[in-house]
Structure 1
């Protein structure tokens, strides 16, 4: 017996030394990206923008550029409480568990067995294992161990584990993608909330002006200078401005609820915390965008596409390995006795050990079809990778252009607000002096209110476009934030 086991062990070692890995090896694909971002070439006005996009390392904690403690606090709480992030984390756990299941195929399998049977043989049958002529019952006790191990001679199991490893990597990057999107949504909702608060303040200020105009018109009407038309127009102006407040209040409540939902909290949870108005965070003077080559490492969607391509390539090797014979080494060691007290005797033991060979001879085209399927899937994954990289390039370029354009738009609106404020002041003076009618005052006030609200909305859009740029650049998903 010892000689047989030694020979089998030597054979296993020899086969292991000559084992190979079938199928193509994965090579990281080249990403078609520019050497540098075309900052200022597609957007000539960038050189005059207050906040400029420049070369430099991108801070993963990009929200810190706003220097807003409330935003940073919300980001931290959402990252740890978001149900979407937690869902992605459980999927990562599932992928890791699946890897442990797949990894067990490369190791021997050992099982303990034990059986007991009370039986009687046939008196007229061909075999009487108990030797009792079928006239008496007998007991059979049989404990033992069974072991088996598929020798991965062609690397089929290794390729399977390689593909599952890539799936785990893809799940980890999908989690980062969810985290990045969640943090960007949090920042966007917060900035929009501050923008709504700014508009509320503007409406309140203009409402005070309109009420003052109405009071002035009533005095002039009493003095016989103003008309009923002037009174009606002044009162209508007050009502028109007041009508905007409920809609702005509703937007405020919805944004507070959106932020509460992101941190897995009931509606109105953040109502008191975000009740007081605060200015829209100022923009940084410089926005480091990193290098295009770093986008492959930062953008989770590109990393996911690369991991899926890796998995698809490894599965070709699995399909190729199915064409080759499978060698399984099995062994069993057990005891068998008709009386439980005899199990400790050497004469009750029995064993078996030896290899088993399985060779695919005819599969009706199944193996060839499976290989063709895996090759086509690998080609699809390669195309998906190229598309993901190209889409990322477009998103970054568009985000840079949007950020610059919205800054220019904001600057022009600021000039318009200043001119409308001057025009309203002159119109009011002329009306008091009797040199102009009240309609002119109303027109100037409406113009000022409109441009002030547009400016507040533009300030929000500029800040949100910066968040979009950071998201396009793939910032804020590093593995240590939050702890997984």
Structure 2
């Protein structure tokens, strides 16, 4: 009889067999329904692409720079300044900047979360093993009263393999994967944006430092010239050929010129400190700031045409990925309204001796399927779905705002570049003219053909024009950087920098002002 019961446990009868087949068929049906995702489908809002950034032509008046329209990114745009120190500093910043390293770590984390989400689509397999030693309790009765006494010692060997699978019938897990993948795309676009801003910050620090260095050099030259003229006036005053008022005016001019040196030296130090922080170093590190003359104004400005801007701007790429994230989360909220299925299976061994553990008699197994469906939750699931759909609309509106702001920034950068170009031409001409006027005034003063007031006025004009010319030159560099940042061009170390090319013949011709020809 015991052998028959053991055989019955090992070989289930027809009824058990039919139940097992029914479970397997039901599981197969749920698996077949997997992938029937529910919820909205995402799409990028349609927006009209302008033919140009500016309404009116804004051609650059100088011949030193030309806008070259392209459909590609001008990667590694800082190379256009032809400054080896600048290139080296940007490469160092890309390797050592802590904020950028944090952005890389955030991307690695998000990619790991994406892999984790993908794991939810696969069956989960786990193994359990254990061994225990215990004494059983026996129950008896004496005079109508029950009692429990210790029984015999025994050992229990247990080992099982568990398999569980959640058929993604309504696409909930796939939507979670889509959300994780889209969030990784957002993080990658933010990393690209960080690279763009870092390259721009390093460029600004170097340019500002070079401008401060040039102004400091000019201030020292002016202070030296003022001191020389003051000494000359003092000698003439002692000889009775000059009045005290002119001497005091020149003394004031000399003191004012010397007073401008210290703030400019502080500006140069601040630029070094800012550069050191961007390089991940402490401010006490001695960094060399290149001369302003060593920086060359980019002869060509590769500028992405409006129709291709969305492909290059990292913030637009991030906004597009945010729409995907919101759509996937809305799909998840919709799938939460539907039942969730589960299939589980277990097979293992349980025995009281090691020899019996490997005997077929000690085999145990189970197979089951489950369903969990929301019935009543106070409307929270429907409210979560409405909130997710509203977030999708928010992401769509933010995308439109990001694109419009991108067009605005490029248009502003082109206009600012034009203004800086025009201003620098006038400032350079003013500096050259004031230098000639000062030279003539000093020569006439030495010959006694003019008074000191004329020399003083010429000197003041030259000082102001020299500072303005240096500032105008550095501003042209800074405005060129601002244009590249507005275009979203950034660091791509794994790809060579493509050469900018002219707009194809099928594209409407665009002049350098950002308006159709």
CA gap 1:298/1:110 in 2 versus in 1, 3 angstroms: same
Counterpart contact for 1:194–1:280, Cα < 8 Å = no
Counterpart contact for 1:43–1:404, Cα < 8 Å = no
Report the counterpart of residue 209 of structure 2 in structure 1. 193
Deviation at 1:198, TM superposition (A): 1.3
DSSP-derived class of the 1:21 partner: coil
CA gap 1:288/1:278 in 2 versus in 1, 3 angstroms: closer
Counterpart contact for 2:135–2:150, Cα < 8 Å = no
* Cα distance in 1 between the residues matched to 2:57 and 2:51: 18
Report the counterpart of residue 89 of structure 2 in structure 1. 74
Counterpart contact for 2:44–2:396, Cα < 8 Å = no
CA gap 1:182/1:404 in 2 versus in 1, 3 angstroms: same
TM-score, scaled relative to structure 2: 0.85
Report the counterpart of residue 129 of structure 1 in structure 2. none
Q: Deviations over 1:318-376 (max 9, x none)?
A: 11111111111100112112334421111111100121111211122121011111111
* Cα distance in 2 between the residues matched to 1:429 and 1:5: 113
Once superposed, what is the RMSD of the aligned Cα atoms? Answer: 2.4
Counterpart contact for 2:83–2:294, Cα < 8 Å = no
* Cα distance in 2 between the residues matched to 1:124 and 1:398: 95
Deviation at 1:18, TM superposition (A): 3.6
Report the counterpart of residue 494 of structure 2 in structure 1. 480
Report the counterpart of residue 512 of structure 2 in structure 1. none
Q: Is 1:211 aligned with 2:232?
A: no
Report the counterpart of residue 297 of structure 1 in structure 2. 311
Q: Is 1:160 aligned with 2:176?
A: yes
Report the counterpart of residue 339 of structure 1 in structure 2. 353
Counterpart contact for 1:32–1:389, Cα < 8 Å = no
CA gap 1:332/1:208 in 2 versus in 1, 3 angstroms: same
Residue correspondences, number: 472
From 427, 433, 443, the equivalent of 1:413 is 427
CA gap 1:55/1:79 in 2 versus in 1, 3 angstroms: same
From 420, 433, 453, the equivalent of 2:467 is 453
Deviation at 1:170, TM superposition (A): 0.7
Report the counterpart of residue 441 of structure 1 in structure 2. 455
* Cα distance in 1 between the residues matched to 2:294 and 2:479: 13
Q: Deviations over 1:125-178 (max 9, x none)?
A: 9xxxxxx99744544332111111100011111011001100011111111111
* Cα distance in 1 between the residues matched to 2:236 and 2:295: 43
DSSP-derived class of the 2:40 partner: coil
From 33, 37, 43, the equivalent of 2:49 is 33
Q: Is 1:369 aligned with 2:400?
A: no
Report the counterpart of residue 105 of structure 1 in structure 2. 120
* Cα distance in 2 between the residues matched to 1:204 and 1:49: 32
Q: Deviations over 1:37-80 (max 9, x none)?
A: 33xx5454535564232312442111111111111111111111
Report the counterpart of residue 366 of structure 2 in structure 1. 352
CA gap 1:460/1:119 in 2 versus in 1, 3 angstroms: farther
CA gap 1:335/1:418 in 2 versus in 1, 3 angstroms: same
**321-330 or 49-58: bigger deviation:** 49-58
Counterpart contact for 1:32–1:390, Cα < 8 Å = no
Q: Is 1:123 aligned with 2:123?
A: no
Q: Deviations over 1:68-106 (max 9, x none)?
A: 111111111111111111010011111011112211111
Report the counterpart of residue 514 of structure 2 in structure 1. none
**144-153 or 213-222: bigger deviation:** 213-222
DSSP-derived class of the 1:55 partner: strand
Report the counterpart of residue 328 of structure 2 in structure 1. 314
Deviation at 1:423, TM superposition (A): 2.3
Counterpart contact for 1:298–1:473, Cα < 8 Å = yes
Report the counterpart of residue 232 of structure 1 in structure 2. 248
Counterpart contact for 2:61–2:421, Cα < 8 Å = no
* Cα distance in 2 between the residues matched to 1:246 and 1:378: 55
From 108, 121, 136, the equivalent of 1:93 is 108
In the alignment, structure 1 segments of 5+ residues that lack a partner are 126-131
Report the counterpart of residue 128 of structure 1 in structure 2. none
In the alignment, structure 2 segments of 5+ residues that lack a partner are 1-11, 142-147, 497-517
**1:168-179 correspondence to structure 2 within 5 Å:** 168-179=184-195
Q: Deviations over 1:397-447 (max 9, x none)?
A: 111111110111111111211221222223223332334332332222111
CA gap 1:162/1:346 in 2 versus in 1, 3 angstroms: same
DSSP-derived class of the 1:354 partner: strand
Q: Deviations over 1:252-292 (max 9, x none)?
A: 11111211111111224243x33x63516232333120211
Deviation at 1:14, TM superposition (A): 4.3
CA gap 1:72/1:315 in 2 versus in 1, 3 angstroms: same
Counterpart contact for 2:211–2:471, Cα < 8 Å = yes
* Cα distance in 2 between the residues matched to 1:5 and 1:456: 87
TM-score, scaled relative to structure 1: 0.91
* Cα distance in 1 between the residues matched to 2:46 and 2:83: 39
* Cα distance in 2 between the residues matched to 1:174 and 1:3: 57
